[in-house]
């Protein structure tokens, strides 16, 4: 389907049908154009850093769409409106389907593009942002209500721990640093429960305890600090 035909189909949607939708015919068309632009750059022979940025932009666009659709799901139990449903179908047809968690019944983070961005330019100017989005996406999609009861294989968890440690060495904005340290404490606690050997479990338990104490000292007024005693109690019950 050509972009011109897509634009015609979206423009033909009745205005009344989209008046209360989070995604309109116009915004759906803009999203599809942005996705096409990113795909073009990704498939080009541009330097790795530029293709990495295109992957980052694509992942950000898809995540923005997913967040809007999740608001629809939370409010109505389904994706509302012709533009939204058309956008979901067209993204799938173009080979960039939105990530979907059947277990949580919601759209997840499109982490594959952030992983690709890091792989192409691990020391590039946008590596920290790609890494942060990859860390956040995989972390928040890995559990329901209990962050220690995550459903992920050990290699994925170990990679997440390493990514959190790597990001902590970057010059991050204050809010991003707090989030990375928060996620890192939980990941070490998870690893202390699930690492494949006793030595690794002890090592991660020690690092988790240190991360918990450091977080409480550094961010005493953060709402996230309320999680730290829960993590400490879980470590003590091992």
CB 102 within 8 A of CB 111: no
CB 118, CB 204: distance < 8 Å = no
Q: Are strands 100-101 and 106-107 parallel, antiparallel or unpaired?
A: antiparallel
What CA–CA distance (Å, rounded) separates 110 from 191?
A: 24
* Closest by CA position to 101, among listed 69, 126, 134: 69
φ, ψ of residue 101 to 5 degrees: the values are: -105, 105
Across the range 162-185, mean pLDDT stands at: 96
| pLDDT tens string 94-130 | 999 999 988 788 999 999 999 999 999 999 999 999 9
Residue 206 phi/psi, 5-degree rounding, is -65, -45
**What's the whole-number mean pLDDT along residues 33-44?**
97
pLDDT at residue 20, rounded to an integer: 55
Pick from 238, 147, 152: nearest CA to 185:
147
Confirm if 18 and 85 have CB atoms less than 8 A apart: no
Q: What is the pLDDT of residues 211-230, one digit of tens each?
A: 999 999 999 999 999 999 99
In percent, the amount of the chain with pLDDT more than 70 equals 91
Highest mean pLDDT among 1-5, 7-11, 149-153, 167-171: 167-171
- Residue 127: its pLDDT value, please? 96
Distance (Å, whole) CA 36 – CA 21: 23
Kindly state the tokens that stand for 19.
């008046």
């Amino acid at each position: 389907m050509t972009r011109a035909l897509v634009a015609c189909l979206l423009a033909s949607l009745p205005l009344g049908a989209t008046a209360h939708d989070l995604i309109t015919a116009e915004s759906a068309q803009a999203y599809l154009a942005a996705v096409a632009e990113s795909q073009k750059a990704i498939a080009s022979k541009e330097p790795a850093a530029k293709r990495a940025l295109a992957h980052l932009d694509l992942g950000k666009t898809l995540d923005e769409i997913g967040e809007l659709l999740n608001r629809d799901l939370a409010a109505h139990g389904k994706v509302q409106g012709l533009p939204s449903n058309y956008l979901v179908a067209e993204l799938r047809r173009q080979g960039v389907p939105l990530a979907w968690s059947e277990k949580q019944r919601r759209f997840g983070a499109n982490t594959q593009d952030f992983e690709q961005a890091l792989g192409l330019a691990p020391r590039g100017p946008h590596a920290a942002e790609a890494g942060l989005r990859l860390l956040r996406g995989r972390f928040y999609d890995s559990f329901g209500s209990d962050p220690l009861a995550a459903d992920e294989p050990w290699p994925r968890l170990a990679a997440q721990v390493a990514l959190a440690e790597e990001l902590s060495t970057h010059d991050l904005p204050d809010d991003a640093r707090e989030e990375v340290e928060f996620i890192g404490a939980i990941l070490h606690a998870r690893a202390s429960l699930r690492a494949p050997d006793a030595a690794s479990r002890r090592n991660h338990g020690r690092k988790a305890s240190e991360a918990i104490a450091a977080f409480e000292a550094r961010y005493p007024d953060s709402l996230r600090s309320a999680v730290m005693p829960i993590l400490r109690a879980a470590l003590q019950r091992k």
